[in-house]
Structure 1
Amino acid sequence: MLAERFRQVAFLNPGLSITLTDERPAGEARAVMFRYPDGVRDFVAALDAEAGSLLPQDVTAFEREDPRMAGTMEVAFLWSGSREERIHSFANSLATRQGGTHVDGFRDGVAAAVTAYALRRGLMTAADPDPDVARIGEGFTAVVSVKLDRPEFLGATVGLLGNTAVRACVGEAVQEHLGIWFEERPERAAEIVARLVRGLHED
């Protein structure tokens, strides 16, 4: 449990080194150091490998400070080709297992980028219904981490982030960066967007 938590904190704070030493075996102390210079990019790559991916994937990652939400965001994601959505979210390095406005913003941004690309490429028309934001992230493995001056949590635990400004800030940033990723990889983008749009139409 300690090792997993230290590993998580190291992923979320690039440049931080944490060493854990197990001294229980007499004369056989074991030490492990957690340090991930690429932060959430390394986190997503590790999650993808743990999910069984045999090939290195193209991880998109960015960091941005936004005064509107009085904090910073670090986001990394890749499209794995599966039907699952694996989003791990954090606020001030604490896991938000129920999600919150940062996760809603991530989904908004993905939906907006997919819709814009699909319209430009003729994969959708303006008459088509907007994609279901709750499902548009299928196939993405992502880490969405925000560090806020004044985090607001809903409920009795810290599992759900409630800062309203965070949603728009994260959404805009994700839309911008995923849109750039699509333009830089047109063949891959066409494959991803066509599959997502087709899946929405099949439903």
Structure 2
Amino acid sequence: MSGFDNPGQPGNVNAYTGSHIQVLEGCEAIRRRPGMFVGSSGERGLHQLVYEVVSYAVNEHVGGHADTIDVTITADGGIRVSDNGRGLFVGVEESDGTSAVERELTELSFGGKPHTRYGVSGGLSGLGLCVVNALSSGLTVEVRRDGHCWTQEYEKGTPITPLTRNGETSEHGTAIAFRPDADIFETTRYSFATLSERFQELSFLNRGLAVSLTDERPERPVRHHHVDGLRAYVAHLNPYPPSLVHSPAIGFESENEDETVFVQVALQWNTWSTGGFRSFANSTRTHEGGTHEQGFRTALTDVVNDYARRQRMISADDEGITADDVHEGLTAVVSVKLAHPVFEGSTRTRLGNPEAGAYVQGVVRRHLTEWLDQHPTEAAAIVRHVLNR
């Protein structure tokens, strides 16, 4: 008997026809299955709405067009995200008279985002603003570009006003204000601490980007801005200077010739903890690791062993320093930005791009070897540390 048979209702097999298949399109598909697009209908999905909007502003920063993102939790529990980028394109499609802003906010398109060289910043689904619009009871977009301010309003993903040109302005950028739909989410109350932690992370990962968060429930502002990037992130994760094996943290970055892979690395050993590793792809935390993480780990173990042998701190006959020994007490952050990221795993937080792993491995081998050779005192301390674990 087939596992699909129901002996109590023998006619059911033939009763199921093509007419029973529902094809959900656009906003309807997103609203019926929110977990597929933002992870859940609980707190995780609620906060993901904010990250989807912020990811567009981060893309503008990566492309060299923005350096400030202001996020506000409004008094009514909504969210407003404003950036000083170029502003969403406001041109109108001649075939149907629809503006580019409206297409961005309403069309399901799984293609990469064309306005920066790196296709995805922090979105889970790659649909960004369309998902946020569909899962909001109300949304207002304001675009400042080409000397004017443009606005449009939506309800549950559907435009209720046309894109309207308002007064003149010398400013540029995009502001999106939205209210999460209480009929979809289990809670619509945002956590200031959760948002602040993520924005601090983004400021570490995107050097020079200032991200501010203001809470009007009552007002509680915070601003994250880290010009030292990942080295500042590692210093934040290693808060006890007396326990550090070396200081400051080691940091380097590199971009391939095609400008399709950009790698940033920072690492530091300490004696007070077992260590910690964080990896990111296009500013999204890759909790399940992936090719970039494997490339880092492989190169790190090889470089430390090579240096120790060249300095005769271990003999040629020795089996060498194990990967576990090398990672003991190590705090490291690896971030890659890719033109065409491939995310895998149940939560889309494992990177699958083989070119990322190969490039990270080469960058770590080259730059870490140079650093160890140029800092012999610190290098010797690191090798002694891993040998004594």
User: Does the pair score TM above 0.5?
Assistant: yes
Equivalents in 2 of 1:126, 1:58: separation in Å?
31
1:95-143 per-residue CA deviation (whole Å, 9 max, x = no partner) reads 0112111111111221121111111121223333243335422221111
**Is the Cα contact below 8 Å between 2:292 and 2:336 reproduced in 1?**
yes
Q: What's 1:191 paired with?
A: 381
Q: What's 1:7 paired with?
A: 200
2:214 to 21, 31, 37: 21
**Is the Cα contact below 8 Å between 1:73 and 1:170 reproduced in 2?**
yes
Which deviates more, 33-42 or 179-188? 179-188
**What one-letter code is carried by the residue in structure 2 that aligns with 1:74?**
Q
The structure where helix makes up a greater share of residues is 1
Q: What's 1:161 paired with?
A: 351
**What one-letter code is carried by the residue in structure 2 that aligns with 1:66?**
N
Which deviates more, 71-80 or 189-198? 189-198
Q: CA deviation at 1:68?
A: 7.6
Structure 2 unaligned residues grouped into runs of 5+: 1-193
Equivalents in 2 of 1:14, 1:66: separation in Å?
19
Q: What's 1:131 paired with?
A: 321
**Is the Cα contact below 8 Å between 1:101 and 1:164 reproduced in 2?**
yes
Equivalents in 1 of 2:259, 2:350: separation in Å?
16
Equivalents in 1 of 2:243, 2:323: separation in Å?
28
Structure 1 unaligned residues grouped into runs of 5+: none
Which deviates more, 76-85 or 142-151? 76-85
Q: CA deviation at 1:182?
A: 1.7
Q: What's 1:174 paired with?
A: 364
Q: What's 2:5 paired with?
A: none
The DSSP-based 3-state class of the residue aligned with 1:189 is helix
1:71 to 250, 261, 276: 261
Equivalents in 1 of 2:259, 2:279: separation in Å?
16
1:27-176 correspondence to structure 2 within 5 Å: 29-49=219-239, 52-54=240-242, 57-67=247-257, 70-82=260-272, 84-176=274-366
Equivalents in 2 of 1:130, 1:69: separation in Å?
36
The DSSP-based 3-state class of the residue aligned with 2:331 is strand
**What one-letter code is carried by the residue in structure 2 that aligns with 1:65?**
E
Q: How many matched pairs?
A: 194
Runs of 4+ in 1 over 6 A off after TM superposition: none
- Please give the TM-score of this superposition, normalised by the length of structure 1: 0.85
Equivalents in 1 of 2:343, 2:388: separation in Å?
36
Equivalents in 1 of 2:327, 2:243: separation in Å?
21
Distance 1:165 1:178, change over 3 A: same
Which deviates more, 117-126 or 144-153? 117-126
1:122-180 per-residue CA deviation (whole Å, 9 max, x = no partner) reads 12233332433354222211110000111112212222111112222112211222222
Distance 1:83 1:32, change over 3 A: closer
Q: CA deviation at 1:69?
A: 8.9
Equivalents in 2 of 1:186, 1:54: separation in Å?
20
**What one-letter code is carried by the residue in structure 2 that aligns with 1:60?**
I
1:28-63 per-residue CA deviation (whole Å, 9 max, x = no partner) reads x221111111111111111111xx445783111111
Equivalents in 2 of 1:15, 1:107: separation in Å?
27
Distance 1:134 1:156, change over 3 A: same
- Please give the TM-score of this superposition, normalised by the length of structure 2: 0.46
Q: What's the % identity of the aligned pairs?
A: 39
Equivalents in 2 of 1:37, 1:185: separation in Å?
23
Distance 1:65 1:93, change over 3 A: same
Equivalents in 2 of 1:129, 1:167: separation in Å?
26
Equivalents in 2 of 1:157, 1:170: separation in Å?
23
Which deviates more, 124-133 or 142-151? 124-133
